[in-house]
Structure 1
Amino acid sequence: MLKTISIIVSGKVQGVWYRKYTVDKATELGISGFVKNLPDDSVYILATGTDEQLNALVQWCYIGSPKSRVEKVEVKEEELQVMSGFVVRR
């Protein structure tokens, strides 16, 4: 069963290719949605997938890109949103 979650990742996550690596990981996991930078230097992810897919993405968010330093990952369940593919939004 599909569900949608939002994830806010804080720390050193902008300017370190975090969004690109998120797209790669989400695509690998078969998750749809998007990732974008927020004005407060955090990253926002909206992702739709199965529990297993989303749990794997959340666990990955704690690691992030090679140069990122993740301090906090906040996850919230959202109303189901069916999207096609996983992209960077600006």
Structure 2
Amino acid sequence: MNVSYIAHVSGKVQGVYFRASSQQMAIEYGLSGYAHNLADGDVELLLCGEEESVSKMLLWLNEGPPQAEVTNVETKQVPWQNHNHFSIG
């Protein structure tokens, strides 16, 4: 079943290749959506795809890339959104 989730990731997540690493992982998991920086220092992600793949990605977000220091991940399921790829902005 296809699902969409918004995730807000807090901690040391900007300037540590978090978005680029997220994009690589999302592509590996076959997900679409986006990752972009927020003004408050968090990163927001939209993850769209098979429920199992989205769940794996949400688990990965708790660690992030080696340089990141994730302190919190808040997630919310949202209505399905169809994206063609995973973009970073």
- TM-score, normalisation: structure 1: 0.97
Gaps of 5+ in 2: none
Percentage of matched positions with identical amino acids = 35
SS state at 1:27 partner: helix
Match of 2:12 in 1: 12
The 1-side partners of 2:83 and 2:51 are apart by: 16
For the pair 1:32 / 2:32, whether they are aligned, the reply is: yes
Match of 1:52 in 2: 52
Letter in 1 for 2:47: A
- TM-score, normalisation: structure 2: 0.98
RMSD: 0.5
Gaps of 5+ in 1: none
C-alpha deviations, 1:6-64, integer Å up to 9, x for none?
00000000000000000000000000000000000000000101110010000000110
The 2-side partners of 1:84 and 1:11 are apart by: 29
How many residue pairs were aligned? 89
C-alpha deviations, 1:58-87, integer Å up to 9, x for none?
000011011000000001000110001111
Match of 1:21 in 2: 21
Q: Segments of 4+ in structure 1 off by > 4 A? A: none
The 1-side partners of 2:69 and 2:11 are apart by: 6
The 2-side partners of 1:44 and 1:67 are apart by: 18
